[in-house]
Structure 1
Amino acid sequence: MARGELMKKLITSYGRDDKFRTVFEQIIGEEERKGNRVLAGSLRKSLDRLGEGAIQTAPAAKLLPFPDEARDFIQRVEPQRTPAELHLSQENTELFAGIIREFRQGDRLRRHGLDVRSKLLFCGPPGTGKTMCAEVFAGELGLPFFVVRLDSLVSSYLGETATNIRKTFEFARRQPCVLFFDEFDALARSREEATETGELRRVVNSLLMFIEQIEPGGFLIAATNLADQLDPAIWRRFDEVVWFDLPDARMIKAYLRHAFRNVEASIDPTPYVERLTGSSYAELARITQHAIKLSILDGNTGVTDGHLRSALRNSERRRARTYKGSAGATSV
């Protein structure tokens, strides 16, 4: 087919994704037959990126009417955090980039009979960014972010918790979204523990079945601080397990620079890395915010090393007293 005719078809098919791609593929094929390998390769890369860009600029997923049966168990949260606030390891950065790419080109993978990773398990100590990551993830994909309210989901009535879980998963099946279970171990605790009741075992059995069967239009994300307490059968139900560790030296430096980005500060993060090693992001946030408060109370003179050292001493005092109190605590 003449190039002019192909270009005409390409323009008239714009907005109809499958037709547009078909014509684009014909143009690439014609260039390959002419021996224009470099141009054909460049066009194919452009076609691949086209799918990503179309999703990036697409409007957020349409919200379905909120079902009464799930209203008590699910809370919508508007994502406020940005990727700049999220400090991930290089490993996790690459992992999420791959998952996002799969989601944005999901139709392409499904046409080849391949599944898109959509069920993620976040594991790691408290304060390492699991909840923030889920929120940023939803915002980046333009998906509504829903948090499961475990206090409402878990019922004292026999059999009702499993029913509530079913309603929650039914909602996630119909509504493209990021559905986030925090403190997942409260639901998915190992059935092998001698102290667990028959009711909890039934809950875990139901949970395993629902996770196995669901094919969400968005993502199911579960997070736990107590990975060792999860039922062994839970792990294989998730497409990916993402480990969130305490920040290393590089991540601590990056966090400090970001935390003081909007205030006047004359601080080199390097000398503080050793003292901050072992801190969670939650602890780093408390320390840097305390330092900024001290600078404001001193008349907005800017955050100095003295302010940061004072905030560090307060954090170390708190940590020492907390750990001592935990070790010596007795039941009353």
Structure 2
Amino acid sequence: MARGELMKKLLASYGRDEEFRAVAEQIISEEEKKNNVVLARSLRKTLENPSKPTRPKALAPLIPFPEAAGDFIERIEPVHSRQDIVLSRDNVRVFAGLLSEFRSGEQIRRRGLAVRSKLLFCGPPGCGKTLCAEIFAAEVGLPLYIVKLDRLISSYLGETATNIRKLFEFARKQPCVLFFDEFDALARARDDAGEHNELRRVVNSLLIFIDRIKPAGFLIAATNLDRSLDPAVWRRFEEVVWFDRPDDKMIREYLGLKFKNVILGFDPSEHIASLAGFSFAEIERVCVQAIKAAIVKRQKDVRADDFEQALADERRRRRDHSRLENRS
């Protein structure tokens, strides 16, 4: 196996001792086969007699998965890095501040101040909220847990508040990033005439839990429907981050990101105006479809007609989606 692949497996197995050791043994065997005897001997000695089992400060040990919360959360391994996202200047500043604050947490708490740990992400679909939560978890070195809302919201409405309590108890004990996507499904405005009384009680419980919790890591909630949130939700979060559709500068940067490993036979920047109002997810679909079209035609490069056809398909998709929304 290629050395790079082995190193990726080694890092991915961090925190799982048996798997980590097995990959480390593979790396040592590879070095022995290459006759790198001194290095192999040194690696084996370190593996057998670790000097001091320490973890980087940013990486949190995992507690056993509690049965109480295990049904409602799923651990996700981050696969993206900060190079895979385009943020507005304001959001870059916000996240840089959050990271600095987290890394200086001990000094801040010593002075009797709290580190910001409850974040609300707002904005239209496809503009980077979920991706940002993943990358943020990787940057702070904490495991990412996604809340499974379909299981959390019990068909027996009286159980939903109990389920939420279990979830918040887990977040209080486990240093992690706990991510609620489509948060509006839980935190809808209580004055909505269409809401059931029991659901209003769920919102009441949710607000109390958010208010009282001091998570061991971060609580992040994301919504596409910020106007549907109960007004009392907003003050429970220490930071609200807005993810808007990209402007021309961000579109230019994102096109460069999507086509960075591709030979181009045209200048994508000439199409920036055509992408105004598109989300990152929509732009990504256009780019990926253009690349696939070039592959199917066995071209060495992606050409303007590939991109323009993909753009036309995305516009058709948007029109069809608008029709469906209007019917509903």
Q: Does 1:266 align with 2:286?
A: no
Superposed CA offset, 1:11-46 (max 9, x none): xxxxxxxxxxxxxxxxxxxxxxxxxxxxxxxxxxxx
Separation of aligned partners in 1, 2:195 and 2:249 = 42
Q: Name the counterpart of 1:92.
A: 91
For structure 2, the 5+ residue unaligned runs are 1-54
Equivalent AA in structure 2 for residue 281 of structure 1: F
User: Could you tell me which residue of structure 1 aligns to residue 183 of structure 2?
Assistant: 184
Is 1:305 matched up with 2:285? no
Task: Report the secondary structure of 1:159's partner residue.
Answer: helix
C-alpha distance in structure 1 between counterparts of 2:324 and 2:164, whole Å: 37
Aligned residue identity for 1:148: V
2:164 is aligned to 165
Letter in 2 for 1:265: L
Amino acid aligned to 1:154 = I
What is the Cα deviation at residue 281 of structure 1? 0.7
> In the aligned structure 1, how far is the partner of 2:271 from the partner of 2:131?
24
Q: 2:248 — aligned with what?
A: 249
Distance 2:278 2:263 in 1: 24
Residues 204-215 of structure 1: pairs in structure 2 closer than 5 A: 204-215=203-214
1:315 maps to 314
SS in structure 2 at match of 1:96:
helix
Distance of 1:299 and 1:65 partners within structure 2:
50
Distance in 2, matches of 1:90 and 1:59, equals 25
* 3-state SS of paired residue (2:216): coil
Match of 1:47 in 2: none
Which range moved further: 193-202 or 127-136?
A: 193-202
Q: Which secondary structure does the structure 2 equivalent of 1:136 belong to?
A: helix
Q: Which residue of 2 aligns with 1:200?
A: 199
Give 1:320 shift. 2.0
Paired position in structure 1 for 2:294: 295
Secondary structure of the structure 2 residue equivalent to 1:322: helix
The alignment partner of 1:223 has SS state of: strand
Moved over 6 A (4+): none
Partner Cα distance (1:134, 1:227) in 2: 17
Distance across 2 between alignment mates of 1:293 and 1:132? 23
Report the Cα distance in structure 1 between the residues aligned to 2:139 and 2:130, rounded to whole angstroms.
14
Larger Rg: 1
- CA shift at 1:325, angstroms? 4.0
Corresponding residue for 2:282? 283
CA drift of 1:85 comes to: 0.9
C-alpha spacing 1:305/1:109, structure 2 compared with 1 (3 Å): same
Q: 2 CA distance for matches of 1:98 and 1:59?
A: 16
Q: Which residue does the alignment assign to 1:216?
A: 215
Deviation at 1:57, TM superposition (A): 5.2
Alpha-carbon contact 2:58-2:142 (below 8 Å) kept: no
- Distance in 1 (CA, whole Å) between partners of 2:258 and 2:90 is 23
What letter corresponds to residue 87 of structure 2 in structure 1? L
- Does residue 232 (structure 1) correspond to residue 231 (structure 2)? The answer is yes
Whole-Å separation in 1 of the counterparts to 2:80 and 2:220:
17
State the distance in 1 between where 2:79 and 2:157 align: 38
Structure 1 distance, partners of 2:222, 2:103, is 23
Cα distance in 1 for residues equivalent to 2:184 and 2:133: 17
Corresponding position of 1:65: 64
Cα deviation digits, residues 159-179 of structure 1 (max 9, x gap):
100000000000000000000
By how many angstroms is 1:149 displaced? 0.1
Q: Tell me how far apart the structure 1 counterparts of residues 302 and 238 of structure 2 sit (CA, whole Å).
A: 44
Give the match for residue 121 of structure 1. 120
**CA drift at 1:314:** 1.2
SS in 1 for 2:214: coil
Alignment CA distance shift 1:325-1:148 (3 Å): closer
Deviation at 1:324, TM superposition (A): 3.0
Q: Which amino acid aligns with 2:228?
A: Q
Give the match's secondary structure for 1:216. coil
TM-score with structure 1 setting the length: 0.80
The offset of 1:233, in angstroms, is 0.5
What amino acid is aligned across from residue 254 of structure 1 in structure 2?
A: E
**Secondary structure of 1:121 counterpart:** strand
In 1, Cα distance between equivalents of 2:180 and 2:281: 19
The amino acid that maps onto 1:276 is L
Offset from partner CA, 1:41-67 (integer Å, 9 cap, x none)? xxxxxxxxxxxxxxx954621100000
Question: Match for residue 42 of structure 2?
Answer: none
Q: Secondary structure, in 3 states, of the residue corresponding to 2:272?
A: helix
Secondary structure at the counterpart of residue 155 of structure 1: coil
Residue 136 of structure 1 is matched in structure 2 by 135
SS in structure 2 of the partner of residue 250 of structure 1: helix
2:58/2:140 contact within 8 Å kept: no
CA distance in 1, matches of 2:117, 2:324: 42
Q: Do the aligned partners of 2:129 and 2:243 also contact (CA within 8 Å) in 1?
A: yes
Counterparts of 1:93-108 in structure 2, within 5 Å, are 93-108=92-107
